[in-house]
């Protein structure tokens, strides 16, 4: 490796140090039991799921990548970002073991959104909103841009464990954005783009919200999750277009979340819950 290729060559993007992260985040009776940082991988979600199936990872494991080459989002979308320009990590959880019934698992990605948005707002000092179901938004040049996303996947052939992946754009510059609608904490004028305190805050917030949710048996009302998500959701109260699986679409006002975390859209005088869709925020006319 030449000096020009050194992982320290971009001084704005220093590498994460795993030992301090472990010291800060792993403790007796805490949610996180193992933290690993890898230089480069295809997908932390895929790697962690494979490790779980092979018996090499237990619930509480956190896998962080400095760079992902085959990151995956909802609806099969792929994405990449420059090395050390963001937070790319996955965690392994077992909600059913922790007292959450299977029918409540639809709230897990929404919980992750609340946890991440809360932490980023506090540490980064920027307004962070949620776009249903799993996108985080920040203001850039007067408009909401996508800061990151969340993907929850069951570990196939397993006993109920879930891999939860989170990706957040931290120091991406304008010329590095994958699409014009993307943003980053740097472009949102955050007070810090230091990934270490941001990562610590997100994992602590995620652990706090997960414990609260599990102790309430996955009840979104009893845990306060539905109220927190509703308060931070930029989709509710907006005119939207829902692009549905199979090619259909639904236009109307996003008016509520139902008990399963589905988005309720009012259209032509009726209300319809949507479980899976690509939501487009429409401009007011």
Q: Where are the domains of the chain?
A: 3-232, 239-281
Q: Of 2-6, 121-125, 172-176, give the lowest mean pLDDT range.
A: 2-6
Distance, first Cα to last Cα, the chain? 55
Computed from CA positions of residues 110, 111, 116, 117, in that sequence, does the dihedral angle turn out positive or negative? positive
Measured over all CA atoms, what is the biggest interatomic distance in the chain, rounded to whole angstroms? 65
Query: Tokens representing 100?
Result: 């959450």
Give the pLDDT mean for 216-227: 98
Length of the chain as a residue count: 285
Q: What is the mean pLDDT of the chain?
A: 93
pLDDT in tens, 9-66: 567 899 999 999 999 999 999 999 999 999 999 999 999 999 999 999 999 999 999 9
Instruction: Produce one character per residue of 157-167: b if its CB has 16 or more CB atoms within 10 Å, e if not.
Output: eeebbbbbbbb
Looking at the structure, give the CATH architecture of the domain made up of residues 239-281: Roll (2.30)
Q: Name the nearest CA neighbour of 225 among 238, 234, 216, 237.
A: 216
pLDDT in tens, 70-112: 655 554 555 678 999 999 999 999 999 999 999 999 999 999 9
Q: How far apart are CA 196 and CA 194, in angstroms?
A: 6
Helix or strand run (H / E) with residue 211: helix 195-215
Query: Tokens representing 200?
Result: 């610590």
Say what the pLDDT of residue 159 is: 75
Say what the pLDDT of residue 284 is: 73
pLDDT at 3 over 50: no
CATH number belonging to domain 3-232: 3.30.930.10
């Amino acid at each position: 490796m030449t000096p020009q290729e050194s992982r320290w060559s971009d001084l704005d993007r220093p590498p994460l140090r795993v030992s301090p992260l472990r010291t800060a985040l792993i403790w007796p009776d805490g949610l996180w039991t193992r933290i690993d940082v890898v230089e480069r991988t295809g997908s932390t979600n895929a790697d962690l799921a494979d490790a779980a199936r092979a018996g090499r990872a237990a619930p509480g494991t956190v896998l962080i990548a400095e760079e992902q080459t085959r990151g995956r989002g909802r609806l099969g979308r792929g994405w990449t970002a420059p090395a050390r320009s963001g937070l790319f990590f996955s965690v392994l959880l077992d909600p059913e073991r922790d007292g959450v019934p299977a029918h409540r698992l639809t709230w897990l990605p929404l919980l992750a959104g609340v946890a991440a948005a809360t932490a980023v707002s506090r540490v980064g000092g920027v307004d962070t909103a949620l776009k249903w179901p799993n996108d985080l938004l920040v203001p850039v040049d007067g408009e909401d841009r996508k800061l990151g996303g969340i993907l929850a996947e069951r570990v196939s052939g397993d006993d109920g464990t879930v891999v939860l992946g989170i990706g957040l754009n931290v120091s991406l510059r304008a010329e590095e954005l994958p699409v014009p609608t993307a943003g980053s904490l740097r472009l949102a004028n955050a007070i810090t783009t230091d990934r270490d305190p941001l990562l610590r805050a997100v994992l602590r917030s995620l652990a706090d919200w997960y414990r609260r949710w599990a102790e309430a048996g996955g009840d979104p009302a009893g845990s306060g999750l539905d109220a927190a998500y509703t308060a931070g959701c930029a989709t509710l109260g907006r005119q939207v277009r829902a692009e549905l699986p199979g090619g259909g679409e639904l236009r109307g006002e996003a008016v509520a979340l139902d008990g399963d975390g589905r988005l309720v859209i009012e259209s032509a005088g009726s209300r319809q819950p949507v479980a899976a869709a690509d939501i487009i925020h429409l401009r007011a006319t």
